[in-house]
Amino acid sequence: MRKSKLYNDLLNATVIEELCEKYHFKGFLAHQDFYTLTGMEYPELYHTLDCSWNRQLDVGWRNYVGNEIFEQYHKCDGKIHVLHANGDSLLPKKV
């Protein structure tokens, strides 16, 4: 990525502000928002990993979207490679 002209051109506040305007994007997660926003415009810059590489443990979004929708995105089958203790979650003592 460091050698990508396109990626490096995106490291510019004006460019990011224009993308935020285009997508009506209001983020609050810093670098995660940067990757989400630039990935919407330039998906060729990124390779999507399956959920086992970022198994998020927080369940707080269930309160906002409801159980049915939450489970569609929170469920992750298979061997977990990385546990992500986001939100108020704690890492389990044993996996």
State how far the alpha carbon of 72 is from the alpha carbons of 32, 36, 85, in Å: 21, 19, 19
pLDDT at 30: 84
Give the tens place of pLDDT for each residue, 12-64. 999 999 999 999 999 888 888 999 999 999 999 999 999 999 999 999 989 99
Q: What is the pLDDT of residues 53-86, one digit of tens each?
A: 999 999 998 999 999 999 998 999 989 999 999 8
State CA 14 to chain mean position distance: 22
Q: How many whole angstroms separate alpha carbon 51 and alpha carbon 95? A: 16
Distances (CA, A) of 28 to 4, 32, 34: 26, 9, 10
Residue 50: name the closest of 72, 85, 76, 69 by CA.
76
